[in-house]
Amino acid sequence: MMKKIMPMMGMVKSMDVKDVMNMMAIKYPVKKGLTFDDVKTSMELSANKLNFKKVGESPMWKDIQAVLGDMEAPRMEVYHYCDIAAGREILKYAPEAIVYLPCRIAIMEDVDKNLWVLTLDWDTSWLDSLSGKMGAPDKLMGHAKDIRDKMDVIMKAAANGDL
């Protein structure tokens, strides 16, 4: 990620916040014909197969409707998952990592009624280019890669409606 970001830092001045948010996210379009609930079901089944525990759910669109009265708000929900063993190892090493946990995967409807599955870009390969990987132990880096890979499998399964 840093390999990608460093050359772009000069461009950041000309980027708007939306561009920066897009750069920091992994986003998959949902296959046509799938409903929001189809995507959610596929995601939950895939996460379960990979031992990712669902630890929360935030139906933001319902809050937007309830608090703001915006009944036109597109449906968007954030789901919280955790690989408990990997999460514990990460927190032993850096308790401050709690701000990144649990992992979040969102399903959202855009203004054109297209569905998307997205999350933060957890690609840690940029650390490989740094001397000593900033002190991160190999075991921890293995957990980070495993989490990212599993999240990608979950997101692709959700976007494709795999059961």
Torsion on CA atoms 37, 113, 59, 123, rounded to nearest 10: 90
CB-count exposure of residue 56 (10 Å: 0-12, 13-18, 19+): exposed
Q: Would you list the domain boundaries of the chain?
A: 2-7+25-158
Tell me the one-letter amino acid at 156.
K
Render pLDDT for 74-100 as a digit per residue (tens, 0 to 9). 999 999 999 999 999 989 998 999 998
pLDDT at 124: 59
Dihedral sign for Cα 63, 67, 70, 71, please: positive
Tokens of 20: 């920066």
Q: Reply yes or no on whether the pLDDT at 114 is more than 80.
A: yes
Contact partners, residue 137, CB within 8 Å, separation at least 6:
93
CATH code linked to domain 2-7+25-158: 3.30.310.70
Q: Reply yes or no on whether the pLDDT at 136 is more than 70.
A: yes
Mean pLDDT, range 41-49, rounded to an integer: 97
Tell me the HSE value of 55 on the side-chain side, using a 13 A CA sphere.
13
CA distance 140 to 92: 10
pLDDT at 8: 56
pTM: 0.83
Of the pLDDT bands very low, low, confident and very high (cuts 50, 70, 90), residue 134 is low
The DSSP H or E segment spanning 7 is helix 2-8
- CB of 46 within 8 A of CB of 157? yes
Q: Reply yes or no on whether the pLDDT at 5 is more than 70.
A: no
DSSP-based three-state secondary structure for 64? helix
Render pLDDT for 11-36 as a digit per residue (tens, 0 to 9). 666 778 888 788 788 999 999 999 99
**Of 141, 80, 77, residue with least CA distance to 106:** 77
Tokens of 114: 């297209």
pLDDT > 90 in the chain, percent: 63
Q: Reply yes or no on whether the pLDDT at 137 is more than 60.
A: yes
Per the DSSP assignment, residues forming a β-bridge with 28 are 117
